[in-house]
Homo-oligomer: A and B are copies of this chain.
Amino acid sequence: MILATLKDVAQAAGISMMTVSRVINAPDRVKPATRELVEKAIQEVGYIQNPAARALANKRLGVIDVYIPEHIDLSNSFAMHLIAGISDVLSSYLYSFLILRSREVSHPCDGYIVMGLFKDEVDGMAEYAGSRNCPMVLFGHTPRKDIDCIDVDNVQGTYELTRHLIAQGHRRIAMLNVAEEKDYTYDRLAGYRKALREAGLPFRPGWVVSAANHEDKGFEAARALLAASGEVTALVCASDVLALGAVRAAKTLGIQVPQELSVTGFDGLGYHLLTEPKIFTARQPVYDVGCQLASLLLQRLSGEALDTVKRLVSPELIPGGSVAAPRAAVTISQKEELP
């Protein structure tokens, strides 16, 4: 394939290659008249920068390694959205990327984007990246203070959902959490508790159950919970998949959703649409997070000195038919006995 090169542009504009290069990389350092001339020439010959040559001259590789741990299921569209965001930003800066499923398979690169891992994995990756003097940005919480990290605000998500339920008049709100020892599960629980606390509602440990993030596990846990405590009018689920199971459990028990039980989910990546009524959920802004991760990494690569970034991106509530005011809307009676 023949592509126009800098040389072609330079000849077309009757000017040196270096000036053309500057028009592209540092337009301010070129006289406006010359710049226009060059820009016209670029259009004329249809010049596109050669990323490989640029990377080589910059002593870069032009590649970012994206680590998605093997235990993250690609059936889950989560990773896809993240990658879409990363891809969009990187490609606009002529970087390309590789998706790696395991730390064992290393590839030379200029920087790392790492999807949430366990603590020791984070440390291992950080050390490895550090030893190669490569910047690394992390998706998901990290125990280390010196690592850039962008995450979804999981606390905020369940907080907003629970607040919405409370605003609808619910007072007896249970939670079905994901049974994983990860920060995000603690955070989602924390958001739920925070909303209860703010509303002056008691936290009942018996109303919080956990299940592995599968529809049938959610079904079982929700059925047990609902059978044991018929009093709850709303159920905050820590994932849409669990919410699907919960809705089915309610139906099985003859409990109507949303008339007798409101159910909320979490994720908003497609699963919330797979039942009737559709799950009221909080959409994780995964695409945005992907974009931000890539942008942050590019900033680091350009050498801009900035403090370690710890950024949280808020989820967005997606209304759905699985939530309604409780049948006998309880008026605000803050006192409830603990079980």
Q: A75-B269, A84-B74, A133-B1 are in contact. Are A108 and B274 (CB under 8 A)?
A: no
Task: Please state if B134 and A1 are interface contacts (CB–CB under 8 Å).
Answer: yes
A209 within 8 A of B: no
Does A275 count as interface, using CB distance less than 8 angstroms? Answer: yes
Write out, one digit per residue, whether chain A residues 155-191 have a CB within 8 A of any chain B CB (1) or not (0).
0000000000000000000000000000000000000
Whether a CB of chain B sits under 8 angstroms from the CB of A98 is yes
Distance, CA A1 to CA B276, complexed state (A): 53
At the interface with chain B, which of A6-14, A34-42, A49-57, A192-200?
Answer: A49-57
Kindly identify which residue among B50, B77, B80, B97 contacts A61, using a CB–CB cutoff of 8 Å: B50
Contact B273 A248 (CB under 8 A): no
A207 to B76 Cα, complex, angstroms: 33
B274 touches A241 (CB 8 A): yes
A215: CB under 8 A from chain B? yes
With A and B bound together, what is the CA distance between A63 and B273 in angstroms?
Answer: 36
Q: Give the copy number.
A: 2
CA distance A97 to B99 in the complex (A): 10
Alpha-carbon distance between A52 and B51 when the two chains are bound, in angstroms: 8
Residue in B62, B81, B84, B271 whose beta carbon sits within 8 Å of that of A52 in the complex = B62
Closest Cβ–Cβ distance, residue A133 to chain B (whole Å):
5
Contacts of A98 in B (CB 8 A): 87, 90-91, 96
* A31 CB to nearest B CB, Å: 28
Q: Which residue of the partner chain, among B2, B50, B75, B84, contacts A77 with CB atoms under 8 Å?
A: B75
Residues of B near A269 (CB, < 8 A) are 75
User: Which residues of the other chain, B, contact A49 by a CB distance below 8 angstroms?
Assistant: 108
Query: Is the C-beta of A110 less than 8 angstroms from some C-beta in chain B?
Result: yes
Q: Quote the shortest CB–CB distance from A259 to chain B (angstroms).
A: 16
Interface magnitude class on chain A = 35 or more
A44 to B227, CA, bound (A): 65
From known contacts A61-B50, A63-B96, A273-B214, infer whether A81 and B87 are also in contact, taking CB-CB under 8 Å: no
CB pair B74–A110 under 8 Å, yes or no, is: no
Check if A79 sits within 8 Å of B80, measured CB to CB: yes
Please, how many angstroms separate the alpha-carbon atoms of A71 and B97 in the complex? 23
Question: Is A48 positioned at the interface, with any CB of B under 8 Å from its CB?
Answer: yes
Indicate whether A132 sits within 8 Å of B56 (C-beta atoms), given known contacts A63-B51, A76-B270, A83-B99: no
**Nearest residue in B to A106 (C-beta to C-beta)?**
B48
- Inter-subunit contact A133/B2 (CB<8 Å): yes
Which of B60, B97, B214, B274 is close to A215, meaning CB atoms less than 8 Å apart?
A: B274
Interface residues of A in 97-113 (CB under 8 A from B): 97-101, 107-108, 110
**Chain B residues with CB under 8 A of A88:** 99, 101
Q: Min CB distance, A294 to chain B, in Å?
A: 12
Question: Do residues B56 and A110 form an inter-chain contact, with CB atoms below 8 A?
Answer: no
| CB-contacts of A212-240 with B (<8 A) | 214-216, 219
- Cβ of A15 under 8 Å from chain B: no
Query: Cβ of A244 < 8 Å from any Cβ of B?
Result: yes
Can you give 8 A-B contacts (C-beta < 8 A)?
A: A52-B62, A73-B270, A75-B81, A80-B80, A87-B99, A91-B107, A215-B273, A244-B274
What 7 A-B pairs have minimum CB-CB distances, sorted nearest first? Answer: A75-B270, A96-B96, A80-B80, A52-B55, A87-B99, A91-B98, A52-B52
